[in-house]
Each structure stands twice: as C-alpha cells, then as structure tokens.
C-alpha cells in the first residue's frame, strides 16, 4: 500500500500513476478539500481538522511493505521506525540510515528560523525533473516493498 500525506503533496497525480501501473492501493489522507479519484485503487481518507491529525492516522497504520510519501519529517521518522519505506516528494528516500540526520537538520533549521524572523524558507519551484525523479523513485521503492512482503 502507498500512503500519501496529501494535503500539501505536489505529486499526488504521479503517485496515482505509479500505483495504477503496479496495481497497488493508494491511500490519500487529508483534512478535506481534495476531489475523490474515480480510480478503484485510490481511496480518499478524510480526517478531522487539526494539527498532525493526518500524520497520526498514517503513522498508526503504516507498516512493513508500505510506502509513505510525505515531507513531514517527524511523520517520516515514525513510519521508518515502523518498517515502512518513506519518500519525500522530491524522490529522496528517508531510511533508518539517514532519518536521524534529517531530523537533526530540521530541528536546527527551525531553531535558526525562530532566532531570526527574517530567515524564512522560500523553496524553489517544483519542476518536471522533480516529478520525474519522484516517479522513478516511487516505482523502485514500491517494487522493493512488494518484494519485501512477498519474501516476508
């Protein structure tokens, strides 16, 4: 199964294409406002409003053999700990080997931003190359997760 932290995810369409090609169920978890997909492999999960409600929903359910797509680092850490494979929308894999460093960097950047209110992240626009890199990474990771479950 592929779980998507869907509220601000820029690659929902790419995730649906990969899930459809592989015949894998895709769960889009959000606080609402997303249109349902007619695709029978796509399930919309609408959770209550509130901070981290969608994250908690995914974290409580993601397990070995699942893939989670999120930019939320604390959610990613919980999912990695549960044995799920995690991808960021730019295709970067978050693994047991790198999640500690990613968490530490996130915390450091939050501290720097709070110390200097003029230092705000203004990320670069999401490009076609980013989307292609994500699609390739998801295809690879989803296939590896399926093998992991099969070989059990």
Please write the tens of the pLDDT for every residue from 75-134: 999 999 999 999 999 999 999 998 877 777 766 666 566 776 666 655 677 888 989 999
Residue 56 in contact with residue 73, Cβ under 8 Å? no
Exposure class string for 46-61: b at 16+ Cβ within 10 A, else e? bbeeeeeebbebbbeb
Instruction: Give me the pLDDT at residue 121, please.
Output: 58
pLDDT(70) > 90: yes
What is the value of pTM for the model shown? 0.85
Please indicate whether residue 50 or residue 108 has the higher confidence score (pLDDT). 50
Query: What's the rounded mean pLDDT across residues 129-143?
Result: 94
Query: Residue 139 burial by CB count (10 A; 0-12/13-18/19+): exposed, middle or buried?
Result: middle
Residue 118 in contact with residue 110, Cβ under 8 Å? no
State how far the Cα of 70 lies from the Cα of 87, in Å rounded to an integer: 6
Residue 31 in contact with residue 14, Cβ under 8 Å? no
Instruction: Give me the pLDDT at residue 13, please.
Output: 95
pLDDT(72) > 70: yes
pLDDT(59) > 90: yes
């Amino acid at each position: 199964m592929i779980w998507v932290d869907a509220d601000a995810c820029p690659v929902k369409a790419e995730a649906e294409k990969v899930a459809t090609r592989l015949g894998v169920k895709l769960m889009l978890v959000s606080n609402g406002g997303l249109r349902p997909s007619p695709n029978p492999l796509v399930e919309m999960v609408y959770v209550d409003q509130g901070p981290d409600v969608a994250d908690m929903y995914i974290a409580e359910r993601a397990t070995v053999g699942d893939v989670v797509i999120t930019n939320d680092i604390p959610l990613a850490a919980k999912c990695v700990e549960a044995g799920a494979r995690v991808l960021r929308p730019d295709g970067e894999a978050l693994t047991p080997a790198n999640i500690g460093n990613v968490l530490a960097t996130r915390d450091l950047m939050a501290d720097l931003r709070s110390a200097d209110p003029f230092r705000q992240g203004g990320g670069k626009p999401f490009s076609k190359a980013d989307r292609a890199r994500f699609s390739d990474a998801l295809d690879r990771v989803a296939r590896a997760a399926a093998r992991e479950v099969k070989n059990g």
